[in-house]
């Protein structure tokens, strides 16, 4: 994306789909076998915007925005925003688009949701790619343990949003310092603005964070020991939040999982090494077989 015309072509206006959570937005870019990307908490689809320029010439890239803190469309007031509820919304989107043999890709907390989708809604999946993400007892990892506390603080989501607007804090380990080699200021500003703009968005992300916990990821990992889905675990080697030991354990315990370490890379693999991740995804789809999606 080197000019405005190219950016418009590869980052179109979002479409909408009705799910059991309410209406969500998603970007639909390219043609071919479908890849669905799940973003981290407090973010939205642009988390993955470096990937379509590398993949959309041969894949259909679907980038949903789940109601996890930077969304424009609040969830229904009674929505189930637990990890299981978010996973069901992903399944609803796959049904809405009638996608099959999907490559599901997750990063950070989006990787935890991807694991839950693979357990409870595998019927439209062909394979799963996990980049550095919550696993086992690390949901969230200890350095982000305040995610378990802040939903219980009155006004906690507003405090979090205002904190994210302070650029001087971004490099701290418990903000973005451990997550990426190169902080994307435009995205973070936009995500914080979305959180601050609507009380219903803050309500949603509070419910999402209340659902975080190792019971979710430990149960998913245990269930996946019998999965037939192939997993590519593409892990940033320099990550000190989601340490490589997590990925190594997952690949020891999940017979269908393959581990590839990515050098010079922290948690946000799609920011630090997007070209390498695109190459790995392309090879993984080719190796595991894929039927092209219509449209």
pLDDT confidence of residue 174: 87
The verdict on residue 126 lying in a domain is: yes
In a domain, 292, yes or no: no
Residue-level pLDDT at 290: 57
- Any domain includes 295: no
Q: What is the pLDDT of residue 1?
A: 33
Q: How many CA atoms lie within 13 A of 72 on its CB side?
A: 10
pTM given for the model = 0.94
Q: Which domain holds residue 30?
A: 4-287
Helix (H), strand (E) at residue 146: helix 146-149
CATH assignment at residue 234: 3.40.50.1820
Mean pLDDT by 10 residues, the chain (295 residues): 41 95 98 98 97 97 98 97 98 98 98 98 98 98 93 96 93 91 94 97 98 98 98 97 97 98 97 98 93 42
Polymer length in residues for the chain? 295
CA–CA dist 144, 131 (Å, integer): 18
Residue 7: the pLDDT is 45
Give the number of domains in the chain.
1
Is residue 294 one of the residues assigned to a domain? no
**Which pLDDT does position 12 carry in this prediction?**
87
In a domain, 100, yes or no: yes
Helix-helix angle 83-97:109-120, to 10 degrees: 70
CA angle 148, 237, 276 (to 5 degrees): 110
What gap in Å lies between CA 91 and CA 21, rounded to an integer? 12
Inside any domain, residue 51: yes
Between CA 29 and CA 52 the distance in angstroms is 7
The reported pLDDT for the residue numbered 263 is 97
Confidence at residue 269, expressed as pLDDT on a 0 to 100 scale: 97
């Amino acid at each position: 994306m080197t000019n405005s015309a190219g950016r418009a072509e590869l980052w179109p206006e979002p479409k909408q789909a009705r799910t059991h959570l309410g209406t969500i937005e998603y970007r639909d870019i390219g043609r071919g076998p479908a890849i669905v990307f799940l973003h981290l908490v407090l973010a939205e689809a642009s988390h993955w915007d470096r990937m379509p320029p590398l993949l959309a010439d041969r894949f259909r890239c679907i980038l949903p925005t789940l109601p996890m803190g930077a969304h424009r469309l609040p969830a229904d007031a009674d929505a189930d925003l637990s990890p299981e509820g978010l996973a069901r919304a992903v399944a609803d989107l796959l049904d809405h688009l009638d996608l099959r043999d999907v490559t599901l890709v997750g990063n950070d907390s989006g990787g935890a949701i991807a694991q839950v989708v693979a357990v409870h809604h595998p019927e439209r999946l062909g394979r799963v790619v996990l980049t550095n993400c919550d696993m086992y007892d690390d949901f969230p990892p200890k350095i982000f343990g305040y995610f378990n506390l802040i939903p219980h603080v009155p006004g906690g989501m507003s405090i979090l949003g205002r904190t994210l607007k302070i650029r001087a804090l971004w490099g701290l380990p418990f903000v973005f310092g451990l997550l990426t080699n190169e902080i994307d200021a435009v995205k973070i500003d936009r995500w914080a603005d979305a959180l601050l703009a609507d009380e219903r968005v803050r309500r949603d992300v509070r419910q999402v964070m209340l659902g975080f916990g190792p019971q979710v990821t430990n149960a998913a990992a245990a269930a996946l020991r019998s999965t037939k889905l192939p997993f590519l675990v593409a892990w940033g080697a320099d990550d000190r939040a989601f340490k490589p030991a997590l990925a190594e354990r997952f690949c020891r315990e999940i017979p269908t999982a393959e581990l590839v370490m990515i050098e010079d890379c922290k948690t946000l693999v799609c920011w630090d090494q997007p070209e390498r991740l695109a190459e790995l995804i392309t090879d993984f789809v080719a190796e595991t077989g894929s039927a092209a999606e219509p449209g």
